[in-house]
Chain A
Amino acid sequence: MIRKVGQSIDALVVYRRDQPHPELHAFRWEGRRYEVSQTNFVHTEREGETIYLCYSVTSAGDHFHVRLNTRASRWTLEEMEMEP
């Protein structure tokens, strides 16, 4: 089951020279900090000229879908996964 969120978030990111995309380490949403314990999947999506990097991450046992607008350098929490 997916819960849509679609809210802007603050993100703590590391750019590694040997990684194809930045590593998301933590994000802040509604005043709470979430440490990313696992990056499950990263893929790109394109809307017109804008390329998004889509992250599926796990934090404290919860799963989140986070998206980086690479044009505007803005991070959004798109969805939260809940057990079906």
Chain B
Amino acid sequence: MSRWIVHLDMDSYFASVEQQAQPSLRGKPIGVTGKPTERSIVTAFSREAKRYPVTTAMPVWEAKKRCPDLLLVPGHPERYVETSRRFLEILKEYTVMIEVYSIDEVFMDVSQEAARRGGPVAIARDIQRRFRDALGPCITATLGIAPAGKAFAKLIGKRNKPNGVGLLRDEELPDLLRTTSVGEVCGIGPRIERRLNQLGIATLADLGTTSDALLRREFGVYGLFLRQLGLGRDPTPVIPYTEIPPPKSVGHSKTLPPEMRDVSLALLVLRELADKVAARLRRLGYVSRTIHCGFRTGILGPGYAKQATLALPSDDGETIYRACRSILDAIPVHPAEIALVSVSAANLLERGALPDALFEEDRRRDRLNGAVDTIRTRYGDGAIRLGTSLLLKPLPQHVGGFIQETWEFGPARGVG
């Protein structure tokens, strides 16, 4: 039985979904943003916009300079999540060996199904047809197929975008290895690429002829994986969605606009972030032992971060915030303003594995958190907030994400 790994990547995903949902945007260069301000970034460009020299995560001001006709569209996460859910439902009809790599990328192992469905290319074409019927003509996917593994399926898919199907046969592999620079392959980032280039390794074929010993000395165990890539093999298995690994950490960060960078306001934002992290921990059923907190003094300014271990694992916002304050106090920098704050909770334990709180004060706090969660589930995230949030009156006008989703992404919105 041949091994067939498929990489499916949705084309210009967020922009395509917006064009499908808003027909007046079709055929136009659009960029999807969080908020269409000059300070924001563009998270996705439509195919029409990609004819200009624009790249994902480019600042709005730069994108507009490079593509003067660019239409900025606020993103609608609920649309993307729903579309992903729908295309995954379709893919599940082909195989259970589906690894959800991101909201718009999936790996599939169709080795078992290929023979009875007319081969991997026939499966890929059928998936594209099903997507067209179920999701609409604007939402398309490119599929790369390779027996050599996930990295090569992704590589060949990238070369057949958009709305294409690429098949890399074993006999085509030597040519591909000779002509592909190491940085083009998934798994080799800019830093590793730079180090490989310094060693005189430019192409995958160069990597394949480099000794294990050298690669191991330079990159540790990862060097052995790199060598495999150089030999045209990616042994990484497709991990099916049914075996989702537990989260390693839960975190939130917020970039503050200039008028919100006063330290006292940034601390209020930090308190809200701690609350968000705690609420997510409770929803996922975890408690955290390690809190990581950091800030930046300018968008491109230096960043400072430290972590602290809690005396007892917690999923309480106040406890996480207090840990953050002690972390910040331990950082020997006292900035006049803060441009970005971040909080994350790591070293997670399942909540159910812990005994109930010993002290009445802690039990009371658990009950309070439970009641807040119930209210938010029933009436939305904005239904109950911290009293300190009232001090952040300008927040809804400037910083998104804290208020009930309807405020930022809901129906009462306009398109710029």
Contacts and interface: CB of A to CB of B under 8 A. Distances in A.
Interface string B397-410: 00000001110001
A1 B415 contact: yes
Contacts of A58: 23
Interface stretch (A9-17, A23-31, A76-84): A76-84
Interface string B2-45: 00000000000000010011111100100000000000000000
Contacts of B25: 84
A45 B415 CA distance: 18
A27 B380 CA distance: 29
A56 B411 contact: no
Contacts of A63: 22-24
Contacts, number: 72
A46 to B, nearest CB: 8
Nearest to A55: B21
A7 interface: no
A32 interface: no
A44 B78 contact: yes
B409 to A, nearest CB: 8
Interface in A50-84: 54, 56, 58, 63, 65, 67, 78-79, 81-84
Given A47-B380, A48-B379, A48-B380, A41 B415 contact: no
A8 B21 CA distance: 21
Nearest to A1: B415
Contacts of B82: 43-44
Given A2-B415, A84-B28, A84-B415, A45 B410 contact: yes
Contacts of B386: none
A22 to B, nearest CB: 16
Contacts of B17: 41
Nearest to B404: A47
Contacts of B20: 40-41, 56
Given A47-B380, A47-B406, A40 B21 contact: yes
Interface in B185-231: none
A48 B412 contact: no
Contacts of A54: 411
Contacts of A33: none
Nearest to A76: B411
A79 B411 CA distance: 8
B71 A84 contact: yes
Contacts of B79: 41, 43
A83 B383 CA distance: 36
B23 A40 contact: yes
30 contacts: A1-B24, A2-B415, A4-B412, A4-B414, A6-B411, A40-B23, A40-B136, A41-B17, A41-B79, A41-B136, A43-B21, A45-B78, A45-B411, A46-B78, A46-B380, A48-B377, A48-B378, A48-B383, A49-B377, A49-B379, A56-B20, A56-B21, A63-B22, A67-B411, A81-B23, A81-B24, A83-B24, A84-B28, A84-B71, A84-B415
Across the A-B interface, the 10 shortest Cβ-Cβ residue pairs: A41-B21, A48-B379, A43-B82, A48-B380, A81-B24, A56-B21, A78-B411, A2-B415, A49-B378, A43-B79
Interface of B: 17, 20-25, 28, 71, 76, 78-79, 82-83, 136, 377-380, 383, 404-406, 410-415
